[in-house]
Amino acid sequence: MRGRPAPILVGMTRLILATRNAGKITELHAILAAAGLPHELVGADAYPEIPDVKETGVTFAENALLKAHALAQATGLPAVADDSGLCVDVLNGAPGIFSARWSGTHGDDQANLDLLLAQLSDIADEHRAAHFACAAALALPDGTERVVEGRLLGTLRHTPAGQGGFGYDPILQPEGETRTCAELTADEKNAISHRGQAFRALVPVVRELVG
């Protein structure tokens, strides 16, 4: 179903970001503005008639594209979507796309964290390499698509540290850091985050395809 169109500011192209997370919208808007791209950016809440898209892909890129294409087709607007998670080397990239539901319940950060730490309890420090990965996709109503990716490399702590962030932030220590992601300030984390990297890599794609 096509969502109810909202007014578009004169001289601006509207982009829709497949999220209801205000923080993500603010982050991407700031990145686009810093690059001199005067686009109006709205979240999925601007089109409440459009249901959330099921993430049935087997990679971050596939899930991001599913969401971006669905919104582009439903709204007739350029759409951006992302998908991300934690990839642990010794687990062959898991939890990966299952990061948010690793324990079996979607969005239970503590249960996901506890299960992963239990699974890695006997793994020595030198084998605890991991990274946060993010794929960001831009899709146009005509089917044109592009995907970019960002990664935050690090190692996994044996015990959580820090009160910031969410998800697996309390156990991932970025390369070159002595603190976990949950111990970084919001600005410090945004400067190196996988999603920030992916969104910044999306800037030339937006400039090329949207203008």
pLDDT at 13: 85
> Of 127, 121, 112, which is closest to residue 158 (Cα–Cα)?
121
In 3-state terms, what secondary structure has residue 132?
Answer: strand
Beta bridge partners of 17: 43, 80
Nearest of 147, 191, 149, 194 to residue 167 by alpha carbon = 194
> Rounded CA gap, 11 and 169, in Å?
40
Note the pLDDT tens digit of each residue in 123-147: 999 999 999 999 999 999 999 999 9
CB 182 within 8 A of CB 157: no
At 21 the pLDDT is 86
Q: In the structure, how many helices (H) and strands (E) does the chain have?
A: 5, 6
Q: Residue 59: helix, strand or coil by DSSP?
A: coil
Residue range 5-33, pLDDT digits in tens: 443 333 468 999 999 888 889 889 999 99
Catalytic status, residue 83: yes
Which residues, in sequence order, are CB contacts of 55 under 8 Å at separation 6+? 63, 66, 67, 83, 97
pLDDT for position 105: 87
Low-confidence ranges of the chain (pLDDT < 50): 1-11
Q: What pLDDT does 12 receive?
A: 62
Set 83, 142, 169, 187: catalytic member = 83
CATH number for the domain whose boundaries are 14-209: 3.90.950.10
pLDDT of residue 7: 38
Distance of CA 55 to the CA centre of its chain: 13
**In contact, 187 and 134? CB cutoff 8 Å:** no
Look at residue 131 in the predicted model and tell me its pLDDT: 98
